[in-house]
Homo-oligomer: A and B are copies of this chain.
Amino acid sequence: QDPNSEDLSLDQRAELLNKYQRVRTETDALSDPLSAEDMQLQSMPDASPVKWHLAHTSWFFETFILRHHLDDYRLFDPEFHHLFNSYYNSLGQPFSRPQRGLLSRPDTEQVFAYRRHVDRAIERLLAEEDCSAEVAALMTLGLNHEQQHQELLLTDILHAFSINPLLPAYLEEPADDALSGQSQPPSWLSVPEDTYTIGCDGDAFHFDNESPSHSQYLQPFRIASRLVTNREYLEFMEDGGYCEPRLWLSDGWAWVQKSQRQAPLYWQEREGGWFQFTLAGLQPVNMDAPVSHVSFYEADAFASWAGHRLPTEFEWEVAAWLYRRPDTLSAANLLEKRQYQPVPESAAAPQFVGNLWEWTGSAYLPYPGFRASADAVGEYNGKFMCNQMVLRGGSCITPADHIRISYRNFFYPHQAWQFTGIRLAGDQV
C-alpha cells in the first residue's frame, strides 16, 4: 500500500496542527513592527514585500494542499492564484516578480483575512479522520516553506529600510549583551580523508535537494573554528582588498568595478568610523562579531587575501557533524534568540549552526541520483541548480526547527542581502 495514502493518527494530526499554528503565529508576529506601508516595500527584484510573503505562504497551503485535499474548499480569491504564485510555471505564468511592490490591492487587511481563511481551512482539514500521510508531508513542506519566507521577510525589510535616508529600525532597541562578547583567535579543526556520507534520506523532513544521501570521498582538510570577524575583514579592506584584482575571481572583479562596492553591503563610513545598518537601525560595527552581508565574491577574495580558501559544502557538512556539540541547536544564535544579528563567537566550542549562512566553494548542483518530483512541487528546488553557490548552517534569523546540518541554501555569487558570512578552510599539509 502507498504509505502516502495512510491515514494520520489523531496525535499526528494534533501535533501537525500545533506546529502549523506556531509557525503561522511566528510569521504574523514578525510582521507586527511593520505598518501597511512598510509591508508593501520592494526595494529590488530579488526581494519581495512583506505583504507578498504573508500572502504567498498562504497561497502555498491553498495551492498545494487545500485545493486538492479539502472537499468543498473555496478559494479565497481566484485572482490570488496568479498574484501570489512565485515561480511555479506549471501553475500558469506568475505575476511579474519585479512588480510585486505595486500590488497595493489586496491590502494588508485582506492579506491577513486570507491568512485566516487558510488557517480555518487547514484546521478543518486536520480535523478530518481520513487526513493522509501525503497531506502531512505537504503540510510539513508548507511549514518549512513558510519558515524560509520568515527569514526572507526579515532580510527583505532590512534591505528596503536601508534605502530610506530616515534609517528606520525594525527593532525598537538593539539586541542584548550577547553582542558584547570578544572574539578569540580561531583554531583549525582537522578532518581526515575518507569516503563520507553526505546528504539526508529517510523519514525526517528534509528538502529534496538534500537527497539522496551519497558517498563522497574527501581529502584531509582543516576548517576554522569560527567565522571571520568584522575586525579581520576591515584589515582586508585597509590592506586594499577591494582594489587588488589579483585577489578576486574574474567575475568578482567585474562585479566590484560595476557595483563600486568597497565594503560589506550595509557598512557606511561616518564621522567616528564604520557603521552598519541593521534590523536595529544604524549601529557602530561590532568588530568582534562575524562580518555579515558579504557576497560570495567578497568571501572568496577575503579567503585569497588570507591565504586560505572556502570549504566545499561537503567539507562543511562533514566538519559540522564531527564537531557538533550536544547543545548545538539550543546554543546557536538562531531566530528564537531574538538577536536579529550575528553575535561574537566564544572560544568555547566551534559552532557551525546559526549566526550567519556560510558561503561554501560549492556550486549548487543536484546530488547524484537527484530527481525533482514531476508535479508542480518539483519546481521548488531543482530548477535553480545552476549559477548559484551553496551556503550552509543557517543564520541568526533562521528558526531552530528549520535548520539541519544537511541543509543546502543557495544564492547567486553577487548577492549579499542575506545574513551571509565567511568561514575559512584549507588543505592539510
Asked if A245 CB lies within 8 Å of chain B CBs, one says yes
Given contacts A90-B246, A246-B90, A386-B251, contact A107 B165 (CB under 8 A): no
Once the chains bind, are A102 and B160 in contact (CB under 8 Å)?
yes
Contacts of A386 in B (CB 8 A): 249-252, 296-297, 300, 413
Once the chains bind, are B383 and A248 in contact (CB under 8 Å)?
yes
A107 to B83, CA, bound (A): 25
Chain copies in the assembled complex: 4
Asked if A140 CB lies within 8 Å of chain B CBs, one says no
Asked if A180 CB lies within 8 Å of chain B CBs, one says no
Given contacts A102-B160, A217-B217, A369-B427, contact A79 B165 (CB under 8 A): yes
Contacts of A427 in B (CB 8 A): 368-369
Interface string of A248-289 (1 = CB under 8 A from B): 111111000000000000000000000000000000000000
A38 to B106, CA, bound (A): 10
Asked if A137 CB lies within 8 Å of chain B CBs, one says no
Once the chains bind, are B104 and A164 in contact (CB under 8 Å)?
yes
Given contacts A79-B165, A165-B83, A369-B427, contact A104 B38 (CB under 8 A): yes
Asked if A127 CB lies within 8 Å of chain B CBs, one says no
A35 to B99, CA, bound (A): 19
Give min CB distance, A412 to chain B, whole Å: 9
Question: Across the two chains, which residue of chain B brings its CB closest to A414?
Answer: B387
Asked if A385 CB lies within 8 Å of chain B CBs, one says yes
Stretch of A9-17, A118-126, A183-191, A359-367 on the interface side: A359-367
Q: Which of A147-169 contact B (CB under 8 A)?
A: 160, 163-166, 168
Q: How large is the interface on A (under 10, 10 to 19, 20 to 34, 35 or more residues)?
A: 35 or more
Contacts of A105 in B (CB 8 A): 37-38, 164, 166, 168
A36 to B107, CA, bound (A): 9
Interface string of A349-367 (1 = CB under 8 A from B): 0000000000001110110
Contacts of A63 in B (CB 8 A): none
Contacts of A366 in B (CB 8 A): 361
Asked if A1 CB lies within 8 Å of chain B CBs, one says no
Asked if A195 CB lies within 8 Å of chain B CBs, one says yes
Once the chains bind, are B383 and A249 in contact (CB under 8 Å)?
yes
A386 to B310, CA, bound (A): 13
Asked if A321 CB lies within 8 Å of chain B CBs, one says no
Asked if A330 CB lies within 8 Å of chain B CBs, one says no
Contacts of A21 in B (CB 8 A): none
A sample of 13 inter-chain contacts (CB < 8 A) reads A35-B36, A40-B40, A41-B102, A89-B245, A102-B164, A104-B168, A195-B217, A215-B219, A246-B379, A249-B384, A362-B365, A368-B427, A369-B427
Task: A37-B105, A249-B385 are known; give 4 further A-B pairs, CB within 8 A.
Answer: A37-B104, A251-B384, A296-B386, A368-B427
Which 9 A-B residue pairs are closest in the complex by CB-CB distance? A363-B363, A89-B245, A37-B104, A217-B217, A38-B104, A250-B383, A249-B386, A215-B217, A219-B368
